[in-house]
Amino acid sequence: MGDFGTLGDVAGRRVLVRSDLNVPLDGSTITDDGRIRASVPTLRALAEAGARVVVTAHLGRPKGAPDPAYSLAPVAERLGELLGRPVAFASDTVGESARATVGALGDGDVALLENVRFHPGETSKDDAERGAFADELAALADAFVSDGFGVVHRKQASVYDVAQRLPHAMGALVAAEVDVLQRLTERPERPYAVVLGGSKVSDKLGVIDHLLDRADTLLIGGGMVFTFLAAQGHEVGGSLLEEDQLDTCREYLQRAEDTGVRILLPVDVVVDTAFPSGDREPEPHVVPADRIPADSMGLDIGPQSGLAFAAALAGARTVFWNGPMGVFEVDAFAAGTRAVAEALTRVTAAGGLSVVGGGDSAAAVRTLGFADDAFGHISTGGGASLEYLEGATLPGLTVLED
C-alpha cells in the first residue's frame, strides 16, 4: 500500500486520485479491464478509510475536447462493479457537473470525473495553461494520491502540476511498480534475463542500452528482430526492417560479445507472404531465420526458437519481458508469444521474479488465456516502465518526493 500516512486521517476529506483507466474499448464495451482491476486496491482502501474519493483518469488520445468515443462512462460502471459500491460519474472534468458531483459525496463515496484529456490544459506544453487547469482540479480536493503509473512519465496537469498544489502521496499501484522496477534495475537476483519484442528496435534503444550493462541474457523476438538479423547480413524479405538502426544493432551485438552478455536471436521464424487480414486465411511456413524468402515476411519466432527461448529462461531468477514475439492476435502467429509466457509462469512457480512489462505484452498474456497471478507482476505502464528502465527521470515520480 502506498504511504497514505503522509496525508494524515483521510476520513471526511476529498482525495483526488489520478488512476490509469485507459482501457481498450469496442464501442462502449471494455475488452480488457486489467487496468481498472489494478486501480481498485487504492480506491477501496481510501473509501474504506472514509475518504471522499474523486478519481481522474484519461482514455485514449482525444484532442483536448469532448469526444463521446473516449468517454469514461463505461469505465465508471465497471469500476463500480469491481469496487462493490456505486461510482458517481461527472460528465465534465472541472465544470458544473464535476463540482456538483464532488459536492454531493459523503464519506466513503467514490466519483469519477470525465476524461481528463477532454480539457486542453491537461496535456498543454504551456506551463501557465497546464497550471490553470491544475488549479481547477486541485480546488475539487483536499489531498492528492498518484496511482496511475502508466502516466508518471508525462508532465501533465493531473499527474505533475496537481501534486505541487495539494498534500500528496503515492498509491498502492505506483508503489508496487516502483518496487518492482527498482528490483529490476538496482538489485536483480541472478541469472537475469530480458526478453524484448514488439515492432521496432527504435522503441527499445534506451532499454537495450541500459540493460546490456545489467542483464545476463537478452532474448530478442518480434518485429524488431529482423533488423538484428539484417545487421548480421541475413535476408529478411518483406519483414519489418529499420535500415537506419542497422549500425546500432551491430554495435549492440559487438558490445554484448565484449562484455559477456548473451544475446539470443531466433533460429527459425514463421513467415507468410502477406500480413494477416480478414481477406485471406494465413499461410504460415517455418523457415530458418537466416533464410527468409524474399517474397515473405516474418510474423513470429519459430518452434525451435520458442524451445530455445524457454530453455534460456528456465534457470533465470529474474525476467523482464516487454513486447510480443509475433502477431499474437492471430493464432497462426501466436505460438512464440505463448512459449515465452509459459516460460515466465515457470520462473514464477520456481520462486523467481517474472515481470510482464505492460502494453502489448500484458494484452497478449490475457488474450492467450493466462491468469494475471501466473506472473510475478504485470505492469500497467508500458511506456513509463521502459523509460524507468532506460534510467530516465519520470516527472510524476519526482514531484512526489518533496
Judge whether 323 is annotated as a binding position.
Answer: no
pTM: 0.88
Contact 147, 125 (CB under 8 A): no
**Which CATH number among 3.30.365.10, 3.40.50.1260, 1.20.1740.10, 3.40.50.620 corresponds to the domain 5-171?**
3.40.50.1260
**Tens digit of each residue's pLDDT (9 = 90 or more) over 46-66:** 999 999 999 999 999 998 999
Place of cell 474499448: 25
| pLDDT (0 to 100) of residue 8 | 84
pLDDT reading at 222 higher than 50: yes
Judge whether 291 is annotated as a binding position.
Answer: no
pLDDT reading at 402 higher than 80: no
Nearest CA among 172, 68, 90 for reference residue 136:
90
Distances (CA, A) of 273 to 39, 122, 193, 332, 336: 42, 44, 32, 13, 19
Judge whether 360 is annotated as a binding position.
Answer: yes
Judge whether 359 is annotated as a binding position.
Answer: yes
Nearest CA among 212, 215, 213, 245 for reference residue 228:
245
Q: Which CATH class is domain 180-390?
A: alpha beta
Average pLDDT over residues 329-354: 97
Nearest CA among 298, 294, 295, 265 for reference residue 284:
298
Average pLDDT over residues 65-80: 97
Same fold? 5-171, 180-390: yes
pLDDT reading at 255 higher than 90: yes
**Tens digit of each residue's pLDDT (9 = 90 or more) over 92-102:** 999 999 999 99
Catalytic residues: 35, 200, 359, 383
Q: How far apart are CA 101 and CA 106, in angstroms?
A: 10
Judge whether 317 is annotated as a binding position.
Answer: no
**Tens digit of each residue's pLDDT (9 = 90 or more) over 273-314:** 999 988 899 999 999 999 999 999 999 999 999 999 999 999
Contact 389, 320 (CB under 8 A): yes
Residue-range domain boundaries for the chain = 5-171, 180-390
Q: Where are the alpha helices (DSSP H) in 67-153?
A: 73-83, 96-103, 127-138
Contact 17, 10 (CB under 8 A): no
pLDDT reading at 1 higher than 50: no
Q: How far apart are CA 157 and CA 352, in angstroms?
A: 38
> What is the overall mean pLDDT for the chain?
95
